[in-house]
Amino acid sequence: AQTVTQSQPEMSVQEAETVTLSCTYDTSESDYYLFWYKQPPSRQMILVIRQEAYKQQNATENRFSVNFQKAAKSFSLKISDSQLGDAAMYFCAYRNRDDKIIFGKGTRLHILP
């Protein structure tokens, strides 16, 4: 069975600074997808970024980028130029061959003005 671990329950960053959220996972599959979801106070799950395991190039979406280390089973999220609207719970997630998503327990990100 696959597992996803987020070791940082909470983090804080100064507005306009850069922050990195950590995620590790465990799997025996070779073909899978990884995601970061953002959940603001509205509780809506918003897809931030996704990475296909077969792609070596790290995914980027505007201010959001990942550092995907397949051998180490690590998938961290970097947020550049942090904004107040980035404050939310962030979930790392693994999508397996059966299309099921396994979520980490989340990291609550605070943005300090």
Which residues make up the interface to other proteins (CB under 8 A)? Answer: 33, 42-45, 47, 50, 91, 95-97, 99-106
Report the distance separating Cα 66 and Cα 106, nearest Å: 16
| Residue 96 vs residues 78, 85, 109: alpha-carbon distances, Å | 23, 30, 26
Minimum gap (Å) between residue 28 Cβ and other proteins: 17
Pick between residue 5 and residue 14 the one whose CB is nearest to other proteins.
5
Minimum gap (Å) between residue 77 Cβ and other proteins: 15
The letter for the amino acid at 76 is S
Report the distance separating Cα 26 and Cα 57, nearest Å: 20
Minimum gap (Å) between residue 95 Cβ and other proteins: 5
**Which of 36, 9, 20, 8 has the alpha carbon at shortest distance from 82?**
20
Pick between residue 32 and residue 68 the one whose CB is nearest to other proteins.
32
Pick between residue 15 and residue 104 the one whose CB is nearest to other proteins.
104
Report the distance separating Cα 90 and Cα 40, nearest Å: 9
Minimum gap (Å) between residue 59 Cβ and other proteins: 13
Pick between residue 71 and residue 98 the one whose CB is nearest to other proteins.
98
The letter for the amino acid at 27 is T
